[in-house]
Amino acid sequence: MTQYELEQYLGKYRKNVFAMALFYLKSPDDADDVVQDVFLKLYTYTGTFDSEEHIKAWLIRCAVNRCKDILHSAWRRFSAPLDAASDLVHDDRIGEESEVYGMLRKLGSNNRVVLYLYYYEGYSTEEIARMLGISVIAVTSRLKRGRQQLKKLLSDMKED
């Protein structure tokens, strides 16, 4: 892969990879690290891709795997999260801050990631299942649970 091609893919898909990593890790700094790791992996990848959609799915899958590695690392297990501080920081790198988008960030990572891929990225349940390495039934269950959680958050917000 040439540097020019990498820059083209970075321009096209950086936002998608960053959003996926941010949903998993809830840390913009960690998400930036994942973006760098994923695009470095793309730069050194020697295989071929069938289409642009294949590249995008490959990048998202790499991001998911890298996020899982970070979440399971010993450093992450023994450090205290700064979730309270990250809620105070506005991160406009995604540019999609809305009430629903903000509520998505409050869900558990499994449901949050599936909802993001389904509604924001437009993937089908079958595509999501392949990307995450889970069954289609698991994807539909996570979609259902995520929708229920969002509905509860919305109704709680209305009551306040």
Tell me the pLDDT tens digit for each residue of 34-63: 999 999 999 998 888 888 899 999 999 999
| Inter-CA distances, 126 with 107, 119, 144, 147, Å | 22, 14, 15, 18
SS3 45: coil
Domain of residue 115: give its range: 98-160
pLDDT band, residue 81 (cuts 50/70/90)? low
Q: Do 109 and 141 have their domain in common?
A: yes
Q: Do 77 and 3 have their domain in common?
A: yes
Quick one: how far is CA 47 from the chain centroid?
24
The number of folded domains in the chain is 2
Q: Do 37 and 108 have their domain in common?
A: no
CATH number of the domain that residue 20 is part of: 1.10.1740
Q: Do 8 and 67 have their domain in common?
A: yes
The count of other CB atoms within 10 Å of the CB of residue 127 is: 18
CA distance 57 to 130: 9
Using the Cα atoms of residue 55, residue 56, residue 59 and residue 60 in order, give the sign of their dihedral: negative
Q: Do 58 and 122 have their domain in common?
A: no
Confidence (pLDDT) at 144? 92
Tell me the pLDDT tens digit for each residue of 11-38: 999 999 999 898 888 888 889 999 999 9
Complete DSSP assignment for 85-113 = HHHHS--TTS----HHHHHHTTS-HHHHH
